[in-house]
Amino acid sequence: MAVLAVLAAHLTGWPRGGFVGIDVFFVISGFFVTDMLLRSAEPTGTVSLGRFWLDRARRILPTAIAVLIATYVASLILLPDRARDIGIDALFSFAFLANWHFAAQGAEPDSPLQHYWPLSIEEQFYLLWPLLILAVTALVVRRAWSRDRWVGLVAATSGLLTAASLAWATYQTAVSPHSAFYNTFARAWELGVGALLATAVAVLTTTPVWLRPLLSWAGVALIAAGLVLIAPDSAGFPVPWALLPVAGAAMVIAAGVGSEPMFQPLLRNQAATYLGDLSYALYLVHWPVIVLLGTVMDTSVYFYAGALALSFGLAIACHHFLENPLRHGSWGAIQQAREDMRHGLYHVERSTKIAAVAALVLITLSVITFAARPDRYEQTHPALPCCGHLE
């Protein structure tokens, strides 16, 4: 849902694009990362920082770096006058400082890498949050406190930081909305809401069965309301408007802890599950496609169709042939695959074949759409001077 909200917002021309989708994304990220850290720390009494950061790097870096390189190369061809600035954007994005970079520009940038700013905030959270969980866990172990007291201390710390961030966001929104939009400290409360949910997992698993679908659909309604009510010129963003999608995302997550809610076909189907798996790659590729394709196509139904087809085609290719192999692969698996190919025993999985065909078909459709666009036949060169003026 988060990535579709971002994609819809960008395609409809929102300059900051994807307000609601990004808010939902932050809550989900805060929840899953905190839940993962708590689960890994509980049996050992510590947090393996190296393992956590390595897993995050394998999950995030390969596709992110590939998109950065591809976008910069494409900008050299399509936007040569802006290639240097886009290269600088790429360097800040690679260092996960894109949000501070775009905040410092003071005006809305029109960069094909602008969408890396939420990823930068997320990575800054991934860097610092495990250290805090580790410190709290070490204190609990030293004092031999119970599990409930440990989780309660994590919850209290998360709540305090979330409240402080929300207060700062409220102030920044009033005095400098542009800075508040990109500022890590003004957006951390959204991740903090997800973290608080993770500390309440034990309680949320006892949610009555009849209440789960009500919570889920109410959350979806709040997110949908945010899509309708929040606009680029909305005063009071991120606070208080972001409270709408953040609360909606929290309700949807809470409804699914322990068991999936009944009567929720919108989120409980194979298409939604696959989109969730594809969401990271789709988020990374969609904005460069929209910006760069917009330099060679007029905004029309052909542009929208081409952007959608190319975004999904590239996302499928990245997810199945870059993200998953590097995330789950190992040197031993590579050697085994080489041996299997040498002896004719290597077989490509059916899902991989389907993904390859789907990616190829979608990319081909985008090329056809580009070639068939009406503006392709418009006059693009100045008319020759009248024959009477030729020398």
Q: How many domains does the chain have?
A: 2
Angstrom distances, CA of residue 373 to CA of 271, 290, 326? 30, 16, 37
In whole angstroms, give the CA distance from residue 73 to residue 80: 10
Helix or strand or coil: residue 379?
Answer: coil
Q: Are residues 223 and 248 in the same domain?
A: yes
Given pLDDT bands bounded at 50, 70 and 90, which one contains residue 97? very high
- Examine residue 390 and state whether it is found in any structural domain, yes or no: no
- Name the pTM for this structure: 0.87
Last residue of a domain, one of 262, 279, 312: 262
SS3 content of the chain, % helix, strand, coil (to 5): 75, 0, 25
Q: Are residues 152 and 297 in the same domain?
A: no
Last residue of a domain, one of 262, 293, 320: 262
Q: Are residues 211 and 98 in the same domain?
A: yes
Angle CA 285–185–105, to nearest 5? 60
Q: Are residues 257 and 310 in the same domain?
A: no
Phi-psi region of 17 (alpha: psi -120 to 50; beta: other; left: phi over 0): left
Q: Are residues 223 and 324 in the same domain?
A: no
pLDDT at site 181: 92
- Examine residue 247 and state whether it is found in any structural domain, yes or no: yes
Tell me: the pLDDT tens digits for 290-349?
Answer: 999 999 998 889 999 999 999 999 999 999 999 988 877 666 656 665 665 666 655 667
Q: Are residues 225 and 151 in the same domain?
A: yes
In the predicted model, is pLDDT for residue 109 greater than 80?
Answer: no
In whole angstroms, give the CA distance from residue 96 to residue 106: 19
- Examine residue 325 and state whether it is found in any structural domain, yes or no: yes
The Cβ-side half-sphere exposure at 204, using a 13 Å CA radius, reads 23
Residue type, 275: L
pLDDT at site 382: 44
Element (H, E) at 15: none
Tell me: the pLDDT tens digits for 348-385?
Answer: 678 888 999 999 999 999 999 999 888 776 644 444 44
Block residue for tokens 């020398």: 391
Cβ atoms of 302 and 268 within 8 Å: the answer is no
Give every CB contact of residue 287 below 8 A, 6+ residues apart in sequence: 10, 17, 112, 113, 114, 115
In whole angstroms, give the CA distance from residue 12 to residue 227: 12
pLDDT at site 89: 96
In whole angstroms, give the CA distance from residue 38 to residue 46: 9
Q: Are residues 72 and 142 in the same domain?
A: yes
Helix or strand or coil: residue 79?
Answer: coil
Q: Are residues 119 and 6 in the same domain?
A: yes
Domain carrying residue 64: 1-262
- How many other C-beta atoms can be found within 10 angstroms of the C-beta atom of residue 301? 10
Tell me: the pLDDT tens digits for 251-304?
Answer: 999 999 988 888 778 877 888 888 888 999 999 999 999 999 999 998 889 999
